[in-house]
Structure 1
Amino acid sequence: MRVLIVGAGVAGLSAARGLALAGHDVEVYEAAPELRTEGGSISIWPATVGVLREFRVDLDGAGRRLEAMVSLSPRGRRLGTIDLTAVERAFDGLPALHIARRELVERLADGVPVRYGHEITEVDPDRAEIVFADGTTARGDLLVGADGRRSVVRRALGGGEARLNGWVTWQAFTALPADIVDAGRTVLVSNGRSLGSIAPAGHGRALWWFDLRAKPGSRFWGDAPDILDRLRARFGRWPDPFPAVLEHAETAAFHPHHLHRVPSTWGRGPTTLLGDAVHTMPPAMAMGAAQAVEDAWALSRTPDDPRAYERARTKTVRRVARMVATEMPSRQGPLTGLVPDARSGKSYVKWLRSATDYL
């Protein structure tokens, strides 16, 4: 089959690798002039690691293997620890990794021919045909829209826009503190209204972030020049490492949280969607990239029947989207300390199994 993929992000590059390995002629078109490497870092869970290995993505030395998630109260009391090495054992040795988005897309793009600078202005879903800004066209046997939340392909299919859910993330990389950057543990603090977290991303860096409620026009919305002062005022008394990280921070990136309604099927004829183009979800439980990679794996198994791929994925994607939409990590707060660590670990394994079709 001749497969046209629109978008060279995590979803599109994963699909390109999976479909090419399945023997198909794959063409990837990206509107940007070069590989888009912006963004923070991404947690990839055991099933995602399994798919990436199956797609022959070189993960040697990638990011940082995660060994534990430690929850603290806003006053620094340890509430609980999820042993991610036990989770790894439960998934036959497949680890959890935290990796900078730049590093992930660079590894996914290795060996994948991408045609950059190809902006698409029109899409004919029924003919699997795309029209570029210069007036040229391309047509395939299968058209895959992997062009993100503002997907051109989704609009051509009549899909609705993603909506804001009232939460935002502020985040940035940091090279300190060393005991976090060089370790394999993620630290989380929640007061039931907001979440702070810091996780190692490998290569001497960690990502810190805060998830909190904010609406357009409010004091934590948009690129306010004094945003770091506002974050310090709100979170500067939280336990280490947050005061030190905020004290040395020079910048922070703003990301509003969006949600898509996930339909039963999301394509038409020889055209389908995957990743954020069809199921944008908040980053609260680190599931966006995982579901995009699983989409690519599922599609690579039945590219001649895109409706079968969509039906196979709908149940799991809807379950994940519903859970993530609750922004549960930010809402839990001190209640986390009421659950024994062993029980939390078993619950996390159960959650990860429910969030995958691969394992």
Structure 2
Amino acid sequence: MRVTISGAGVGGLALARGLLDAGHEVTVLEEAPRRRSGGAALTLWPNGTDVLNRLGVPIDDLGRRIDVLEATTGRGASLSRVDVAAISDRLGAPTRTVLRDELIERLSAGLPDGTIRFSASVADAEVDVAGVTLTTTSGERYFSDVAVGADGNRSRLRVVPSTPTEWISWQGVTRVPATISDSHETRMMIDRSGAVGLMPCGDGRLLWWFDVDHAQTSWGPDAPAPEVVERLRDQFADYGDPVPTILEALTPGMAEPYPHHTHRVPPVWGRGTLTLLGDAAHTMPPSMGQGANQTLQDVHALLEALRRAAPTGGPALEAALRGYERDRARRIRPIAAMAGRETSISYRPPVLTRLLPDRVAQSLQEKLIRRSSASLS
């Protein structure tokens, strides 16, 4: 079977590997002129690492294992503490923070030459009973039995647009002292000014991000880079260690903006033998740390749907794709709704936060991961 994938991100490359292993002919169209870089790091919970294990993509040597997720006030007073290691043990797969660049490189390794076509931006799709033809902005046409849009929030193959929220994460990766980088703990510091995330990501590096509600500020994502540095320093000046150290080390351009978007998850998101996965199908803010994980779950579910339907083809193939979409939509809606409300980064008085016992928060996190997962369940 011939499959064309739009987008050479985590989802597109993971799907390509799975399809090639199953003996299909695969072409990945990527609008960038070379392999993408940037995007800081991402958290792979057990529902993400489980899929990578199934695809034969080892990541034990990448990033940093995460065993604890702690929420504190800006000054450092503990609000909650989740035993991530216990969740990982029960679900049978680890939780790791991995640089996006390193994961993309690992997923790309071993792909046959010519699998990825760079500078190939998809502009349109023609769907008929024979298959799908993707046309690039330069006029090249790619016909395949199945086409998959894995091209993110701005996908041109998606029908329902996403909606920006008022929140933006200003993020980056910095080398820090070993006392910080060697930890296996993720820390969220939440106060009236916004939220700060601190996550070790291996090799002496720390992923940090500043979540800012720009509806409450006089500046926005279009502010000049030097102004961004000064604004972040002012807004988070009262936060405790190690935030002052990170702010002091900031230089213009170091903090990369990541605007948050929400998206109504439709019951189906494809037509004919064209389907979507990841942010192209269900964009959500990063506040639940599930974007990449749900993308990888899409990959697993789509590979299973194609495995069952590929020998038959025709209407059975279309039915399998719609079944994949309905099942994933059902699983994703609760976690996408929670992420869309931005509750995990919005300030609440500490007394209210402490009313939720740690064991309850831990149980809820595990249930969300399990119920949204196709591979773990």
TM-score, scaled to structure 2? 0.89
Q: 1:30 maps to which residue?
A: 30
Question: Is 1:226 aligned to residue 227 of structure 2?
Answer: yes
Q: Which residue of 2 aligns with 1:141?
A: 145
1:161 corresponds to which residue? Answer: 161
Shift of 1:344: 2.8
Which letter maps to 2:332?
V
Counterpart in the other structure of 1:242: 243
Shift of the alpha carbon at 1:211?
1.2
Q: 1:117 aligns with which of 111, 119, 125?
A: 119
Deviation at 1:23, TM superposition (A): 2.7
**1:96 matched to which residue of 2?**
95
Match of 2:357 in 1: 340
After TM superposition, give the deviation of residue 349 of structure 1 in Å.
1.6
In structure 2, the CA distance between the partners of 1:20 and 1:239, relative to structure 1 (3 Å rule), is: same
| Counterpart code for 1:196 | V
Q: Distance in 2 between matches of 1:204 and 1:306?
A: 43
Aligned residues of 2:68 and 2:82 also touching (Cα < 8 A): yes
Q: CA deviation at 1:336?
A: 2.9
**Alignment match, 1:64:** 64
Contact 1:198 1:206 in 2 (8 A): yes
Query: In structure 2, do the counterparts of structure 1 residues 197 and 136 end up closer, same or farther at CA, with 3 Å as the change threshold?
Result: closer
**Structure 2 partner of 1:201:** 201
Q: 1:343 to 1:152 in 2, by over 3 A?
A: closer
Deviations 1:255-307 (A, max 9, x none): 21111211110100010111111111111111111111111111101123211
- The answer to whether the Cα contact below 8 Å between 1:222 and 1:254 also exists between their aligned partners in 2 is no
Structure 1 SS opposite 2:296: helix
Give 3-state SS (helix, strand or coil) of 2:49's partner: helix
- What residue identity is the alignment partner of 1:340? P
Q: Give 2:309's aligned residue.
A: none
Q: Which residue of 1 aligns with 2:274?
A: 271
**Residue aligned with 2:344, SS:** helix
Alpha-carbon contact 2:194-2:347 (below 8 Å) kept: no
Partners of 2:166 and 2:256 in 1: CA distance: 17
Q: Distance in 1 between matches of 2:339 and 2:208?
A: 19
Aligned residue-pair number: 354
Task: Report the CA distance between 1:200 and its aligned residue.
Answer: 0.7
Report sequence identity in percent.
38
Cα distance 1:217–1:72, how it changes in 2: closer, same or farther (>3 A)?
closer
Deviates more, 1:18-27 or 1:83-92: 18-27
> What RMSD in Å do the two structures reach over aligned CA positions?
1.8
Is the Cα–Cα contact under 8 Å of residues 177 and 241 in structure 1 kept in the other structure?
no
Residues 105-164 of structure 1, C-alpha deviation per residue, up to 9 Å, x if partnerless?
11111122312122333321334101234433211110111111111222xxxx022111
Take 2:210 and 2:96, find their aligned partners in 1: how far apart are those partners? 20
1:324 aligns with 2:323: no
d(CA) in 2 for partners of 1:193 and 1:328? Answer: 15
Q: Which amino acid aligns with 2:86?
A: A
TM (norm. structure 1) is 0.93
* CA distance, structure 1, for counterparts of residue 148 and residue 208 of structure 2: 33
CA distance in 1: counterparts of 2:126 and 2:216, whole angstroms: 35
SS in 2 for 1:330: coil
Counterpart in 2 of 1:152? 156
Gaps of at least 5 residues in structure 1 are none
Relative distance call for 1:217 and 1:229 in structure 2 (3 A) is closer
Q: Report the alpha carbon displacement of residue 98 of structure 1 after superposing the two structures with TM.
A: 0.5
Superposition deviation, residue 193 in structure 1: 6.2
1:281 alignment partner in structure 2 = 284
> Per-residue CA shift, 1:152-207, capped at 9, x if unaligned?
222xxxx0221111111111111124322111111111126621111011121111
Distance 1:217 1:74, change over 3 A: closer
